[in-house]
Amino acid sequence: MTAPRERLDEVEERLLAAARVRSSRLREDLAAWVAIPTGRGHLEGIERQREAIVDRLAALGATARRIAGDPRPPWLHGSEAGTSRAIPDASVITTPGAGPAFLLVGHLDTVHDPHGAFQRLEEVGGGRAVGPGAADMKGGILVAVAALEILQELGHAVRWTFLLNADEETGSFHSARLLDAEARRHDVGLVFEPALPGGALAIARMGAGQFRLDARGRAAHVGRDFTEGVSAVTALARCLVKVPEFSDPSAGRLVNVGPISGGAATNIVPDHAVAWGNVRFADPAAAARLGRDLASLATPPTAMPSIAVEFLANRPAKPTTPAVEAIANEAAAVSRALGRDLPFATTGGVCDGNILHQAGLPTLDNLGVRGGNLHRLDEFVELDSLVERTALVAILIRRLSLAGAPRRDR
């Protein structure tokens, strides 16, 4: 890739103008999308949102197919009998063509209560609007769709696939295999999570994993047979005292526990207790160390009390690579040409870009809108970033398309 150019050419100026013309429509579209409840497995809303996006992309000549999701590991929190949700499909929307193949990724799901009071986009002054999923990531998907539309309007053909899943907020367990497969078929990955604070682009992310600790004891009546009982809660508590020792932020290892459950009544010695947790890690070595530390808590299944451990590092760390750095530098150059610096940052947060990276696809994250207070009832979007990021994405895709496929990371 040649050195990034920090001035817009004539076609790029036209792309910028086309994005500006769409300013009012972008705000109207975002308000309409935010009003569709897609949180907490609300399938009706997810399907309405999916249809709205697929219709827009089909108008560009794309074809869509639905892919059934895979089951989650049964030991994950929320996967127990009686609490599991329907497995949502993912959608893969594709255009044919020549040149580098772009994989655009966005998630339909949010974390917000589909029946709560936080249901629509409202301007709050200062160029901001609050709304469920406005930044994470309905605004980002809208930016991506609008960028593809203005590229086609100006006659610049691009070979792209748009992958929409509906389980990113719960770990992308249903769609991970599909993300990996599509990543191996493409040349550049673009993920439309919201920008980091200050509009920053994440060029490195920690990895994430899940674990579960199951303690088994022996039930007994507290008053009559206390000494015959073996408390699973006490056994679990002894483990949980040790778990914080596994964290070492300076070495890129973080461990969090919660939620916790155990016991059925106060007058019964509990025979079962369980805790779930989350880990973050900077690299494979840190992930392996956490796996060993957690496994050290396990006992033989015949022990009394016994401890069983489940662990899965489901999202690998995403370090900066030369290929990612080159694409990020191009994005920063485009942003400066548009009048705004695009700083780089690292984060402990994870996203589907981690999965794309593991498959060797050079991937940029955080190309969505500027915003903040994610997963809160005051989640906001900076409204001027709708036009800015639409122009940035369209111009970046054009430049990368003209430059040819970058070298894959592996």
351-355 average pLDDT score: 98
Average pLDDT, the chain: 96
| Start-to-end C-alpha separation, the chain | 17
- Shortest CA distance to 245 belongs to which of 191, 297, 196? 297
Two tokens at 69?
């999701």
pLDDT of residue 410: 62
pLDDT of residue 1: 58
- Which amino acid would we find at residue 400? L
Work out the pLDDT band at 156, boundaries 50, 70, 90: very high
pLDDT of residue 255: 98
- Shortest CA distance to 152 belongs to which of 18, 4, 336? 18
Element (H, E) at 8: none
| Matching residue, tokens 């992958």 | 163
Contact by Cβ (8 Å): 121, 100: no
Two tokens at 260?
């916790």
φ, ψ of residue 154 to 5 degrees: the values are -90, 5
Alpha-carbon torsion, ordered 146, 104, 404, 337, to 10 deg: 50
Domain boundaries, the chain: 10-206+318-403, 208-315
Element (H, E) at 135: none
Is the pLDDT reported for residue 409 higher than 80? Answer: no
User: Exposed/middle/buried for 55, CB within 10 Å: 0-12, 13-18, 19+?
Assistant: exposed
Contact by Cβ (8 Å): 215, 273: yes
- 189 vs 267: CA distance, rounded Å: 56
Tally Cβ neighbours within 10 Å of residue 263. Answer: 15
Q: Assign domain 208-315 to its CATH architecture.
A: 2-Layer Sandwich (3.30)
- 241 vs 264: CA distance, rounded Å: 22
Condensed to tens digits (0 to 9), the pLDDT of residues 229-264 reads 999 999 999 999 999 999 999 999 999 999 999 999
- 23 vs 135: CA distance, rounded Å: 16
Distances (CA, A) of 228 to 6, 165, 236, 269: 76, 50, 18, 9
pLDDT of residue 184: 97
| Matching residue, tokens 């609007």 | 129
CATH, range 10-206+318-403: 3.40.630.10
- 90 vs 190: CA distance, rounded Å: 17
Work out the pLDDT band at 27, boundaries 50, 70, 90: very high
Largest CA distance in the chain: 86
Work out the pLDDT band at 228, boundaries 50, 70, 90: very high
Work out the pLDDT band at 81, boundaries 50, 70, 90: low
Is the pLDDT reported for residue 220 higher than 70? Answer: yes
